[in-house]
Structure 1
Amino acid sequence: MLTSKQRAYLRGIASNYETIYQVGKGGVTEAMCRDIAEALRKRELIKLRVLDNSGWTAKEAAEAIAEQTESDVVQVIGSKFVLFKRNEKEPVIENIPKAK
């Protein structure tokens, strides 16, 4: 679980990120979640987008994917959302504020 300071820090980093996955009319699938989990392992922080024809809201998709990938939802804005999962073995993002 992320603290508000950690979320704010990660939101700042994610603002410069490009969207790398889209949830389309196929919705959230197991194969998609495997790909997203692999991307989270390598990058720790990713930005995703929900297309209008998907039938999902960004919040619904974010929560479903976060649950399947065991990641945290950093933010949901409009059709985009950001996920974070710490790679304990090889951290990518440094200086994340410590949880109290």
Structure 2
Amino acid sequence: MPLNNEQKKQYKSIGHHLKPVLTVAENGLSEGVLAELERALNDHELIKIQLRLSEREERQAIVEELCAAARCELVQSIGKVALVYRRNPKANRQLSNISRFQG
């Protein structure tokens, strides 16, 4: 499943226009956050996550935990925003950010 550099480049350009659909704050990865992450990845495949945490190491640890829990791949992390991707073989073309922005 690892993305190659060409795919990452393409997904970064798609992700640039997306708004964060999930926010992780001081409470960390609660069941609600993980459930919403699962729903968002199933619907959209490529999503932006806002991390409202001040420490860089803490943000990095949360992103790694998120990716492991949701079996998704980190495309890019800049500051307090992470872009993650998980392919959905039965993706809804109207909801999937990949389908919508690729053509």
Fold conserved between structures, TM > 0.5:
yes
Tell me the residue number matched to 1:98: none
> Percent identical across equivalent pairs?
22
TM-score w.r.t. length of structure 2: 0.81
Matches within 5 A, 1:22-37: 22-37=23-38
Shift of 1:34: 1.6
Tell me the residue number matched to 1:5: 6
SS of 1:47's equivalent in the other structure is strand
| Deviation digits for residues 39-62 of structure 1 (CA, Å, limit 9, x no counterpart) | 100000110111136896332221
Q: Distance in 2 between matches of 1:59 and 1:74?
A: 13
Tell me the residue number matched to 1:44: 45
Q: Distance in 1 between matches of 2:18 and 2:59?
A: 17
The 8 Å contact of residues 22 and 36 in structure 2, kept in 1 or not, is answered as no
SS of 1:22's equivalent in the other structure is strand
Check 1:76–1:53 CA distance in 2 against 1; reply closer, same or farther (3 A cut): closer
Tell me the residue number matched to 1:72: 73
Q: Structure 1: any 5+ residue segments left out of the alignment?
A: 96-100
The 8 Å contact of residues 62 and 83 in structure 1, kept in 2 or not, is answered as no
SS of 2:28's equivalent in the other structure is coil
Tell me the residue number matched to 2:21: 20
Aligned length: 95
| Deviation digits for residues 74-100 of structure 1 (CA, Å, limit 9, x no counterpart) | 1000111011011112263245xxxxx
Q: Structure 2: any 5+ residue segments left out of the alignment?
A: none
* Matched letter for residue 12 of structure 1: S
Q: Distance in 2 between matches of 1:58 and 1:14?
A: 19
TM-score w.r.t. length of structure 1: 0.83
Q: Which structure shows the higher helix fraction?
A: 2
